[in-house]
Structure 1
Amino acid sequence: MDDLTPGTPYRVVARRVPNGWELHFECRPPVYIKRLDDAFPEARIALSHALELDADSLSVQIRHDLASDDLSSQIRDAVQATADAARAQTAAATEMRKAVVALKNLELTGRDIAHVLGLSPQRVSQLLKS
């Protein structure tokens, strides 16, 4: 059975079945749910009954099993690409703020900065305030 020390999540596998999902545990039979947004509360309830613990004290980690290695790989790649894009967006915003400040230090007006950087004057104003 998984280690249930405080703070360690209990691992549950959600497998797609006709018209819903099955939550698979090590300590009890699977539980059927209609939608994945029910997975966390239902997993906690099922585990609390099987392990005789308070449901609110259980941390649950859901892994999705779609029974397709190709699809699982595609999903991992898409999630990774989204995370990479978010990091790149954050880095770009930081560089844009630096550029706005550098241009302001050259005593360019907000409208001139906007023109140079391809931003709206309102966005330049926001960046100067942050």
Structure 2
Amino acid sequence: MPAEGVDEVTLTTYETVAKRWKHGWELHIDGVGVTQSRTLLDAEPMVRDYVAMILNAPDDSFDVKVTPEIGAGVDGEILGLRHADEELEAARERAGKQRRKVARRLDSLGLSGREIAAILEVSPQRVSQLLGRGKTKTAASKRRSVRRTSKL
């Protein structure tokens, strides 16, 4: 999340298809060109170096996405797995929002943190997080912690 008053910068992403060949991987960078790497693990830094050199730009001024092209019928399975992962992440975000909403609603009805924890099947500490409590220590609490630590 960007700091207050700072605009979020969207970096250009260079989509790259990595195709296997007998000496490693051929890296086809959309709109830029082709380079190579010995291993798939070296592909992203190799693409980053290549694009930075071609565009005469800092290597941290853009993003790189490398998609391996495997063949043998497994590419579709890989895409299906990535799609399932994206759906799972979206479902987790929805569940988190719903959990916070329900926790706040139960809190407004006067239930204790322990009761809310039992209903939501989470720890009381998690309820505090969901309700936005306990995020920051008060100044007095910080001073007490410092005093205790300094006596050791």
Same fold (TM over 0.5): yes
Name which of 112, 115, 125 aligns with 1:112. 115
Segment of structure 1 superposing worse, 57-66 or 35-44: 57-66
Q: Secondary structure at the match of 1:107?
A: coil
Q: Secondary structure at the match of 2:58?
A: helix
Deviation at 1:31, TM superposition (A): 3.7
* Distance in 2 (alpha carbons) for counterparts of 1:35 and 1:120: 44
Name which of 109, 123, 130 aligns with 2:126. 123
User: Map of 1:1-130 to 2, 5 A cutoff?
Assistant: 12-18=16-22, 20-24=24-28, 31-46=35-50, 53-54=55-56, 56=58, 62-68=66-72, 70-129=73-132
* Distance in 2 (alpha carbons) for counterparts of 1:106 and 1:27: 59
> Could you say which residue in structure 2 is the equivalent of 1:3?
none
Q: Deviations over 1:20-61 (max 9, x none)?
A: 312246886x54312234323423544677x6x415389555
Deviation at 1:16, TM superposition (A): 1.6
Aligned-pair identity (%): 34
Unaligned runs of 5+ in 2: 1-10, 134-152
CA contact (8 A) 1:110 1:125 kept: yes
* Distance in 1 (alpha carbons) for counterparts of 2:125 and 2:32: 57
CA contact (8 A) 2:36 2:43 kept: no
- Structure holding more helix per residue: 1
TM-aligned CA distance change 1:43 to 1:111, over 3 Å? closer
CA contact (8 A) 1:44 1:56 kept: no
Give the structure-2-normalised TM-score: 0.62
Unaligned runs of 5+ in 1: 1-6
Superposition CA RMSD, Å: 3.0
CA contact (8 A) 1:45 1:55 kept: no
Give the structure-1-normalised TM-score: 0.71
Q: Aligned AA for 1:77?
A: G
TM-aligned CA distance change 1:106 to 1:38, over 3 Å? same
How many equivalent residue pairs?
120
